[in-house]
Amino acid sequence: MPSSMNLVSTRVPRHSLYSLSDSSDSDPDNEEEQDSPRRLTPLEKLTLDMCHDEKTIKELNVGRRVGFYKVCGEIGCGNFSKVKLAFHALTKDKVAVKVVDKMRLDLSTQRMLSREISIMESLHHPNILWLYEVLEAPSRLYLVLEYAGGGDLHARISSEGKLSDLESKLVFAQIMSAVKYMHDSNIIHRDLKAENILFTSYSCVKVADFGFSTKISSRSQMLDTFCGSPPYAAPELFKDEAYMGPPVDVWAMGVLLFFMVTGSMPFRADTVPKLRRCVLQGVYVIPTWVSAPCQRLIRGILKPEPTERCALDQMLGCEWLLPVETLRSNPHFYQLNPVQLLKVRSGWAEQEEVHAALQKLGVTKEHILNNQGKNSRSPITGIYRIVLHRIQRNKGAECLPSITGVVRDPKRDSLRAYRNLRHTSKLCVLS
């Protein structure tokens, strides 16, 4: 096992350090009990197995284990990386592990990867994919991510056809919620496309892949790097000029919305030069079956001039999305750091549950104190974030947007489809 994948210390702390709360002085009457052998915690047993158990060591050497994660198989691949399905050996939660071949990265790509990790560290939103942990070996880097088991938007539309008007509203509202949160945090995604819009097993939307994302100092800061997929690229990107970040993401959202409600792309061509001409001309045709309010929103977004495009706040109040109550998240950055468990904080409902779950696994106050400053590059952080995410999810933090009222058009949506989606939203709230 690579030395950079630091194992949790197997040293047995004295007295009650295996509690996350402060320990009191020991009682002399209990010395005999303290000296007697005790059962190893799950964390201690796993750590010892990784150092001494032949089967576990072999799995680590051949790549069937990475840190505390058991790798099951490959679920995707990119130019410099592969994505594998795995599960945490302690918590048993499924995760996605992005395996990056560091030997194939040039200096520019290394900087992009570092920026991707830094940006994901700073994001905490129900519609953005979680980063749990980062592990590093001499030739590889492993990003342990939330596993979204429902596939991606591109695959869904390619296999099942366009979304209904109501389904499009629910999906688009979640994408918009995530993008607004990013922009409010001065983060530009720059690669919004259907392949990067994932679904969880309960149909919650997750924006993924921050490889081209960047952090800006202000909304007016100019950028100059062509990023993302050409079919989703805004006209200003094809002009090879400096551009503002937020309108580029907004344009990509317009292309996504067109793709959702029609099943096709607004600008299509055989080659990138031809595609460039189509985008710069700004000519596209919206099918007549698309509702008038949705058509108005698409036209408001896909405007060639960046300053004339719909702002995200305008989208929130547009007629088409009026029936949809988007997520009103109140993210707490401190929740991503396990050391916050040792501080008394009011209003954090999950604190006691997370505290108890970590104790059961054997995570101690000493582990957490030794974890400070490591961010995602620690197995303790990985355990903590997985447990925290599971508890938040079970409390309904990732439910579908609610529908407050719909004037139904029988030409677009059947009453049965509406009721089914309404029922799904209620189930997510109750789960």
Residues marked as catalytic: 191
Please, which residues have CB within 8 angstroms of residue 244's CB and are 6 or more apart in sequence? 219, 220, 221, 222, 223, 306
The three-state secondary structure class of 69 is: strand
Residue 104 has what DSSP assignment?
G
The three-state secondary structure class of 142 is: strand
98 is in an annotated binding site: yes
For residue 339 the two structure tokens come to 């050391």
Residue entry with tokens 């408001």:
300
Please, which residues have CB within 8 angstroms of residue 194's CB and are 6 or more apart in sequence? 152, 153, 154, 157, 256, 259
What is the amino acid identity at position 95?
A: V
Angstrom distance (rounded) from CA 420 to CA 429: 14
Angstrom distance (rounded) from CA 247 to CA 107: 28
Strand-pair category, 187-188 with 197-199: unpaired
Angstrom distance (rounded) from CA 310 to CA 293: 14
In 3D space, the residue among 50, 110, 170 whose CA is nearest the CA of residue 422 turns out to be: 170
Q: How many CB atoms lie within 10 A of CB 73?
A: 7
Angstrom distance (rounded) from CA 374 to CA 84: 24
Dihedral of CA 7/8/11/12: which sign?
Answer: negative
- Binding site residues, as ranges? 98
- Binding site residues for ATP, as ranges? 98
